[in-house]
Amino acid sequence: MQLKYSVFPLGAVLIWAGNTVVSKMSAGLIEPAAISFYRWLLAGLILTPFLLKPVWRQRRTIQPHLPKILVLALLGMVLYQSLAYFAAATSSATSMGMIASLMPLLTLLLSSLFLREPPTWGTLIGGVLSLLGLMILIGKGHPMQLFEHGVVFGDILMLLATVAYALYGVLLRKWALPIASWHLLYLQIWIAVVLLFPPFLLAPYSPVTAANLPLLLYAAIAASIISQILWMNGVAHLGASHATVFMNLFPIFTVIIAVAALGESVHSYHAIGGGITLVGVLLAQMLKQRIVRPAV
């Protein structure tokens, strides 16, 4: 691994962590349906001068794959970020970041289901540990109280958002569409704009203001475009497996930014639950031995 290229995935993960905090900051300043719609609309408008013509030239190649692209847009652009914005109303940015750190593990679990990849001991042990850590985190240090007092609704929404994005990654790999990465991203953005338009119309009126404009710009430009440039460069230079390792820094970056920008407190259950969850994710990535050995 060439150290100088590590700045690409590191920068992307840092931006995504910052976007989790931005999601929390947006709560109360702009309706979730509004920022979801405005974000992708602005990103699409920015990319149009560069991508509209090449995408149009590929329309015959793209057309048969539109149903799959619609599903990808629904999972990755609509459900993931929209649920995160709704989650921010009741969940802390620290908890959101730690729950999102489950994404690599969930990707492995879903890969076993959809890609028929044999489960590994890392997936099993890491899954059990991460579930325990998640129960400690969501139960605020008292996992058994989940069954007595329930959970923070925002934490459940963030977990659903993370599952949606993990499934997005698995289907992206399963389908392996013959479309360039930037072209595929551009198509998903505009499909997301169309899907998000009805909820935007039905939601309470929420205009762009001086207070929420910086948050919208960060989400549309930094989190939607710049992070993609950095991540694609990281994967190109380091390979997907090495770049993905940097995702383990996501919860750590999120906590640091949340404490600095929002003054959130880090409690013992954050450290214990988040730590156990992160160990589980790491084990899932490191222990590759299959539970069931293939027949010889």
Separation of CA 207 from chain center: 26
Residue whose entry in the numeric block shows the structure tokens 């939607």: 224
Instruction: State mean pLDDT over 95-104.
Output: 85
Instruction: State mean pLDDT over 141-162.
Output: 76
Query: CB-based contacts of 90: which residues, under 8 Å, 6+ apart?
Result: 152, 153, 154, 155
> What are the C-alpha distances in Å from 53 to residues 48, 56, 251, 254?
8, 5, 38, 37
Residue whose entry in the numeric block shows the structure tokens 């997907």: 240
Instruction: State mean pLDDT over 130-153.
Output: 69
What's the pTM value of the predicted model, to 2 decimals?
0.86
Instruction: State mean pLDDT over 164-188.
Output: 91
Query: What token pair was written down for 110?
Result: 């879903």
Instruction: State mean pLDDT over 6-19.
Output: 92
What's the pLDDT band for 69 if we cut at 50, 70, 90?
Answer: very high
